[in-house]
Structure 1
Amino acid sequence: MRPPYTITDKILSLIVSISEKIGEINAHHLYKPATELRRKNRIKTIQSSLEIEGNTLTEEQITALLDNKRIIAPLKDIREVQNAIEVYSRLHEFNPASPRDLEKAHAILMKDLIDKAGKLRTSNVGIVKGSKVEHIAPGGMMVKGLINDLFKYVKNDPELVLVKSCVFHYEFEFIHPFLDGNGRMGRLWQTLILMQQYPVFEYLPVESLIKENQEEYYNTLSESDKKGNSTPFIEFMLTLILETLQQLLRSQNTNLNTTDRLLLFHEKVKNRRFSRKDYLQHFKNISAPTASRDLKWAVDQKMLEKYGEQRLTEYVFISKN
């Protein structure tokens, strides 16, 4: 059964705006940012998602852990970051429509933090904030069935991925399927759902905007609880997604360097042969001499194998295996 929500005029307007921004990003080849920006955004994503849950580590400390350096910090916080680094580095291993993969990811994310990492809860829980019970989650015996229904929606429903990812995020938080780690898992899995259709979301730190709007994030979850549908949460999350895309377009230099262009083109052509003309058709904003310099550099660096001469010249990326 489809989870309850309504597609409002605001949701439709946000979807149109997001689609336009994604089109701009694709046109400028920003869907996979330059290596350094990818790393920076990944660190920001991990730091923001964990800070929402009370982790104290800074971006600088997370960078140090990513470089296998020692830091002085609470052991629990260090373990949370190490686990998050691992799970985000393995995103491509998880199928967003697989409950089993959800459990695998949770086992990595919560390793050495809780006793039953990777196991759906079977006991009853309530979410307490301060002295107030904020949310009574569905009974433990209902969890497995509810999660299976939610994943059937993800896999089979024809709804737009942008909407579906938000619905999943809300419903996941409502079900609260694990004893702990549900917030960071819900945010992780929304990213996973989005990146299947839009690669840019793999490195887009939506979590940092959630952190900046943390009170509204929880208030909107609560509002959806009270209304019995995820419509307010969908509107909220789509607004943050649009803002994150706008930030990317404002901040990213669209003049890619040689390495960035070659890496992007490798993803497109894989191991097929191509000509300089093919390369130019993909990067319409560079000149023919720039394309020639790119390709010569790649040959010199043994990234490319060159075949033929002059107009008959073709190239193929050299496999690293």
Structure 2
Amino acid sequence: MYISVEEACNKWNITRDALLELLNENKIFGAVLNNNNEYEIPMYAENPYELSNKNLLDIIDQKLKQLNKLRELCFSEKNRFLNDFSIENTFNSNAIEGSTLTLRETVLALQGITIDTKPLKYHLDAIGHKQAFDYILELVDNNEELTERRIKDIHFLVLANKRVDAGRYRNMQVSILGSEHKPTSPYLIESKMKQLLDEYKNSTENLIVKIAKFHLDFESIHPFIDGNGRTGRLLLNLELMKNGFPPIDIKYTNRTKYYQCFDDYHITNSPSSMVDLIANYLIIQLNYQIDIRNQETSN
């Protein structure tokens, strides 16, 4: 959901010139250029002037407290939100990995309709991701601990187009296209995954920092031959939802910024870029959740 520059100016009570300057300086998270070369801004993005001198993690804490004071969504409302979210998330997560299905084509593929101009692989990728998302919802409902077995189960569902490799750690060295980082050697994957899960479980850091670091380290290990990115983003949402946060949808249009988070981590060993990315997406989602619950209350 996006709004125009004019709508954002009215919402935040700032001039068009001031807003365009912020956009040119890349200070409005999630803003994109449409096909007409005009900026579109996430409807629930935070006023950039209000963000400038504040800690994003503090803002998230405040908004989560605000959200928790409002009534919970009823069963049908929650299901509708999660179903709509999972479809768009399936589209974006697969698009980041190269799928050419549009959002509309993703909907059709999930309904069992074949788009004859698109490869079968992309249809199976859509179905597999949606099934994996539904599975993590079960894990959230049961507050299941994150384990290697559950990570492999999620990957098994994600890799619907390549069952021979699904749910199994890779046994060959791989490289990541466009990255200088070398993933973990195959014979070290199992021990590295055990270490990763132990460190995550025992960490006393802020939850968002913990989850960001886990995501960075998981993708750095790159334990599977394929499907690491999709699996990793599902794990990210699994841990967010288990801890009372809404899921986030890392957009295909933000993929360059997302990739840069990994490059920054491999250079600096600091998860700060990924923390900021996740935090900004969370603020948008929390604003959305607060808005829809306030609307229902007023009605």
Contact persistence 1:205–1:244 (CA under 8 A): yes
**2:219–2:232: 8 Å Cα contact kept in structure 1?**
yes
Matched, 1:230 2:271: yes
- CA–CA distance in 2 between the matches of 1:136 and 1:114? 25
Q: Which moved more, 1:87-96 or 1:165-174?
A: 87-96
Contact kept? 1:121, 1:140, Cα under 8 Å: yes
Note if 1:124 corresponds to 2:173.
yes
In 2 relative to 1, CA 154–69 (structure 1 residues): closer, same or farther, beyond 3 Å?
A: same
**Cα-to-partner distance string for 1:157-199 (whole Å, 9 max, x where unaligned):** 233322211111111111111111111111110100111111x
Name 1:79's counterpart in structure 2.
124
| 1:219 matched residue in structure 2 | 260
Amino acid at match of 2:124: R
CA contact (8 A) 1:104 1:118 kept: yes
* In 1: Cα distance, 2:145 partner to 2:275 partner: 18
The answer to whether the Cα contact below 8 Å between 1:114 and 1:180 also exists between their aligned partners in 2 is: no
The DSSP-based 3-state class of the residue aligned with 1:255 is helix
Q: Give the alignment's TM-score, normalised by structure 2.
A: 0.72
1:90 aligned to which of 114, 117, 135 = 135
Indicate whether 1:14 and 2:56 are aligned. Answer: yes
Asked whether the 8 Å contact 1:87–1:108 carries over to 2, the reply is yes
* Between 60-69 and 221-230, the greater mean CA deviation after superposition: 60-69
Q: 2:249 aligns with which of 160, 183, 206?
A: 206
**CA deviation after TM superposition for structure 1 residue 89, in Å:** 1.0
Taking the aligned partners of 1:249 and 1:44, their CA distance within structure 2 comes to 20
Q: In the aligned structure 2, how far is the partner of 1:156 from the partner of 1:253? A: 35
Structure 2 gaps, min length 5: 1-51
Q: Tell me which of 137, 140, 165 is aligned to 2:211.
A: 165
The reply to whether residue 65 of structure 1 matches residue 99 of structure 2 is: no
Q: Distance in 2 between matches of 1:78 and 1:116?
A: 18
> Is the alpha carbon distance of 1:143 and 1:81 closer, same or farther for their aligned partners in structure 2, counting shifts above 3 Å?
same
The structure-2 alpha-carbon separation of the partners of 1:187 and 1:38, relative to structure 1 and needing over 3 Å to count, comes to same
Query: Which of 145, 148, 154 is the equivalent residue of 1:105?
Result: 154
Deviation for aligned residue 1:30: 5.6
SS in 2 for 1:136: coil
The alpha carbon displacement at 1:248 in A equals: 4.0
Contact in 2 for aligned 1:97/1:154 (Cα 8 Å): no
Asked if residue 182 in structure 1 is aligned to residue 228 in structure 2, the reply is yes
1:26 and 2:68 are equivalent in the alignment: yes
Distance 1:192 1:160 in 2: 17
Alignment-derived partner of residue 56 in structure 1? 100
One-letter code aligned to 2:180: E
Shift of residue 51 of structure 1? 0.6
Distance in 2, Cα, partners of 1:147 & 1:111: 23
CA distance in 1, matches of 2:160, 2:269: 33
Are residue 156 (structure 1) and residue 196 (structure 2) matched? no
> Which of 172, 178, 192 is matched with 1:146 structurally?
192
Aligned counterparts of 1:238 and 1:205: Cα–Cα separation in 2: 10
Within 1, Cα distance between the matches of 2:134 and 2:269?
Answer: 35
Q: Aligned residue for 1:318?
A: none
TM-score scaled to structure 1, two decimals? 0.67
2:73–2:293 Cα contact (<8 Å) kept: no
Alignment partners' CA distance in 1, 2:185 and 2:262: 19
Partners of 2:248 and 2:281 within 8 A in 1: no
CA distance in 2, matches of 1:31, 1:227: 41
Amino acid at match of 2:192: L
Please, which moves more after superposition, 68-77 or 26-35? 26-35
How far apart are the structure 2 equivalents of 1:183 and 1:247? 26
Q: Structure 1 residues 181, 153: closer, same or farther in 2, change over 3 A? A: same
Secondary structure at 1:57's aligned position in 2? coil
Quickly say closer, same or farther: Cα 1:57–1:96, change in 2 above 3 A: farther
For the aligned residue pairs, the C-alpha RMSD in angstroms reads 2.5
Greater Cα shift, 103-112 or 226-235: 226-235
